[in-house]
Amino acid sequence: SAVISQKPSRDICQRGTSLTIQCQVDSQVTMMFWYRQQPGQSLTLIATANQGSEATYESGFVIDKFPISRPNLTFSTLTVSNMSPEDSSIYLCSVGARGQEVAEAFFGQGTRLTVV
């Protein structure tokens, strides 16, 4: 299993500003994942963050809008840049069970972002 500490848990931000979300894992993991859930929508994968290389973004998500850092095997940040009200969502970081291909995912507690 993995325990993930995510912060902040919630924030209210002004449009045009940026917010950085942090996730700390209690063990070393190769890949970390960032998801978003917009109101009334499914949890959607934004990007996969690998240590030592650039993040891999899913269709519809770009690095300029969602820059990701992965400085070591236990930590990652996601920045939501130049925010607009459409960015109001729950953001979750996640890891898979280490060493297992078919494995459950573990999640942080989520960041509930409201952009005004």
CB of 82 to another protein, least distance (A): 26
Q: Is 105 in the site for another protein (CB under 8 A)?
A: yes
Q: Is 50 in the site for another protein (CB under 8 A)?
A: no
Piece in contact with another protein (CB under 8 A), picked from 18-26, 30-38, 63-71, 73-81:
30-38
The residue from 39, 85, 102, 116 that contacts another protein (CB under 8 A) is 102
In one-letter notation, the amino acid at residue 56 is T
Rounded CA separation 80/97 (Å): 27
Q: Is 4 in the site for another protein (CB under 8 A)?
A: yes
Rounded CA separation 102/79 (Å): 29
Burial of 12 (0-12, 13-18, 19+ CB in 10 A): exposed
